């Protein structure tokens, strides 16, 4: 199975990059399924139902979230009603939405997407390792699922790498989101799980992690905030991670970064 995870989509520039490049990527890479982190899709702060619908129409099959999932308060009913929308599973019980999604591709193969959020340098939240362990126990490779993807949303690279090892051999792919900077460590772990610490973002890299430079620079240099952060509006780079799995085992055969458009050097797997 061929799956693409798209890193945090940031604002209109990120959405424009997905719209411009995803159809071609689906064709070139013969993708069976696409997951995108959409927690910054609405101007850098949350996501709306309308924007989610636009992303689905562009060819995204599942949208994962993170610490900005609930920034747009009107999204809460949509999270309950739309099975293709996820939020981290380790939010407290009773939080709107779901952290595990179960899907079927065009060939009838079963995919499970698990969305979890780290705790180091993040808001207090339930244990992501316990939550992922429970989800993997209920969704086993080549039993209940042909492909399992974990989006681990977090700040600390060590915590995301620990999750990769924790799920190694039990998931097809573990990929990090949140930091908006693509890491150079795409590889297959010892027990066969594809891994990359952070997929990067779909956003304008002439920025400070996707935000217009003026306000972050003012806050760093003067320690005085003058206004709200605004998403940068230049040409965006679409960043993601491509994984191809072995249908016999559900484990990874290859994993490669994807970067197209904007300022970053292009990285494109062979078809």
The residue annotated as part of the active site, out of 68, 153, 178, 180, is 68
Q: Which residues pair with 255 in a beta bridge?
A: 243
Nearest CA among 262, 252, 267 for reference residue 2: 252
Ordered alpha helix ranges (H), the chain: 11-28, 49-58, 76-81, 128-138, 157-167, 214-222
Cα–Cα distance, 61 to 147 (Å, whole number)? 14
Q: How far is CA 265 from CA 27, 176, 224, 258, in A?
A: 21, 20, 34, 10
* Under 8 Å between Cβ of 39 and 202: no
**Checking DSSP bridges between strand 187-188 and strand 147-153, what pairing results, if any?**
unpaired
Taking the C-alpha atoms of residue 46 and residue 41, their distance in angstroms, rounded to an integer, is 6
Q: What whole-number distance in Å separates Cα of residue 50 and Cα of residue 155?
A: 28
| Tally of CB atoms within 10 A around 225 | 11
> Cα(first)–Cα(last) distance of the chain, in Å?
13
Residue 178: active-site member: no
Q: Which residues contact 102 (CB under 8 A, 6 or more apart)?
A: 110, 111, 112, 139, 145
Which residues are known catalytic residues?
68
């Amino acid at each position: 199975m061929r799956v693409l995870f798209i890193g945090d989509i940031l604002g209109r520039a990120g959405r424009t990059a997905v719209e411009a490049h995803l159809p071609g990527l689906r064709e070139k890479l013969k993708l069976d399924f696409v997951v995108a982190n959409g927690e910054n899709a609405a101007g850098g702060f949350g996501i709306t139902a309308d924007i989610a619908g636009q992303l689905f129409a562009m060819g995204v099959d599942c949208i994962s979230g993170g610490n900005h999932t609930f920034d747009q308060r009107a999204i809460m009913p949509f999270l309950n009603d739309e099975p293709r929308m996820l939020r981290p599973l380790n939010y407290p019980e009773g939080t709107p939405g779901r952290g595990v999604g179960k899907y079927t591709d065009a060939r009838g193969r079963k995919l499970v997407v698990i969305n979890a959020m780290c705790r180091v340098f993040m808001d207090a939240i339930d244990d992501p390792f316990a939550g992922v362990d429970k989800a993997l126990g209920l969704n086993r490779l080549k039993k209940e699922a042909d492909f399992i993807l974990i989006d681990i949303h977090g700040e600390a690279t060590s915590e995301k790498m620990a999750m990769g090892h924790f799920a190694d051999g039990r998931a097809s792919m573990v990929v990090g989101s949140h930091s908006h900077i693509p890491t150079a460590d795409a590889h297959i772990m010892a027990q066969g799980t594809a891994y990359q610490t952070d997929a990067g973002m779909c956003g304008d890299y002439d920025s400070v992690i996707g935000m217009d430079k003026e306000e972050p620079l003012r806050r760093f240099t003067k320690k005085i905030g003058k206004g709200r952060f605004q998403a940068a509006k230049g040409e965006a780079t679409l960043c993601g991670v491509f994984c191809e799995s072995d249908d016999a085992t559900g484990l990874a055969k290859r994993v490669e970064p994807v970067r197209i458009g904007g300022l970053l050097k292009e990285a494109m797997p062979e078809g």
